[in-house]
Structure 1
């Protein structure tokens, strides 16, 4: 698949047989995100906070060879 800019888009999904609260506990710890990052673009959380629930926003520091350093704002919706 290609994006609107013509670059390739990669999408992956999987089902994890674990209680949602256990998965959320790992995802809520921004320090653990680099353990899950397959792109190797993640540089860490912009803040050392732990996400506590729906409605929160957290920022991750990123780096892409072509675009350089940037931050990605993430909204917890579910």
Structure 2
């Protein structure tokens, strides 16, 4: 399999913005990464990587995170 190129900067900016919105929503609810992970069936390290914008995450995971945060997915993924 050939190596893949890193995503363009605008994609990384969207990842970071998504992660920041998840973190802000989580902390406003005084929820730990561990608790969010438990409620969304996602491990804490993955939550951390998503919040930092280090990974591209599956839409299914975002659905579970939004539900665990009791917030619309659209609010989390809006344009930065």
Length-normalised TM-score, structure 1: 0.26
Instruction: From the CA coordinates, give the structure whose radius of gyration is larger.
Output: 1
Q: Hey, which of these two has a bigger chunk of strand by percent?
A: 1
Q: Hey, which of these two has a bigger chunk of helix by percent?
A: 2
